[in-house]
Amino acid sequence: MKKAVLVTGASSGIGAATAIEFSKNGYFVYLMARNKDRLEEVALKCRSGASLVACDMTDMKALDKRINEMLTAKIHRIETIVNNAGIFARHSTEEGSDELWQTQFNINMLAPVHLTRAFFPYFKTQGGGQIVNVSSTLGLRPQGPTSAYSAVKAAMVNWTASLAIEGGPFKIRANCVCPGIVDTPIHHFHSLEAEQKNAVIDKMKSLQPLGRIGQPEDIAKAIYFLGSEQSSWVTGVSLPVDGGINLL
């Protein structure tokens, strides 16, 4: 049975790069996101095969249906799930509404918890599995008016440690990647005109000891390491992949 990985938020950015990275290494990829057209574009780049799982992860009934389809198909052995889907918001505690906080929690935390909880019995039955959560350096050290996002991403870091403890006896590993500033659609500068975008990125370079912002592929390689047998004796880790920005 061919090994497989499930990547959420796989239609662009870090998720798309992660799907392609796993595929390069022989994994069949389940691509989960809302935009089916963009998923199809990513699937064409997955040389080891891919299946589209078009789903709004905040719709729990739809999510449960998709999960059940994957877990009962028995076509591939799903060895890894990557909880990457998320949204970013820049608001202070005072400015952020209850709705904003609830949305941040639902998408960035509750949906990954729901998905992971569903896969735990599956991983136990097959004798192990890998969970990789995508948090943020803001979950390690908040900066600026990002209180809701930072708080939820910090919760993901803590949850990862809990998962590692709970899953250890069943050979279920859980690790977390904490990206810094990466050129993906989650950031406003990603879609600016070229001249404006380059100006913003040039300013950001000064914040990075390594002198550049990240690319999705930088994060994808770290996710692959933690989600594959390359890291077979690693669990409970929250790994910053940030060009050293948290050192300053």
Question: Tokens representing 171?
Answer: 């050979």
**Measured distance CA(225)–CA(64) in Å, rounded:** 28
Q: Which domains does the chain have, with CATH numbers?
A: 2-184+216-242 (3.40.50.720)
Determine contact, residues 7/18, Cβ cutoff 8 Å. yes
Q: Is the pTM of this model over 0.85?
A: yes
The letter for the amino acid at 27 is Y
CA distances from 81 to 57, 89, 117, 148 (A): 14, 25, 11, 25
DSSP 8-state code for residue 80: E
Q: Residue 224 catalytic?
A: no
| DSSP 8-class letter at 154 | H
The predicted structure's pLDDT at residue 185: 82
Catalytic option among 27, 30, 149, 224: 149
Q: According to the model, what pLDDT value does residue 99 have?
A: 96
Residue among 125, 130, 133, 74 at smallest CA distance from 108 = 133
Residue-wise pLDDT tens for the chain (248 aa)? 899 999 999 999 999 999 999 999 999 999 999 999 999 999 999 999 999 999 999 999 999 999 999 999 989 999 999 999 999 988 899 999 999 999 999 999 999 999 999 999 999 999 999 999 999 999 999 988 999 999 999 999 999 999 999 999 999 999 999 999 999 987 777 777 888 888 888 888 888 899 999 999 999 999 999 999 999 999 999 999 999 999 98
The residue type found at 168 is G
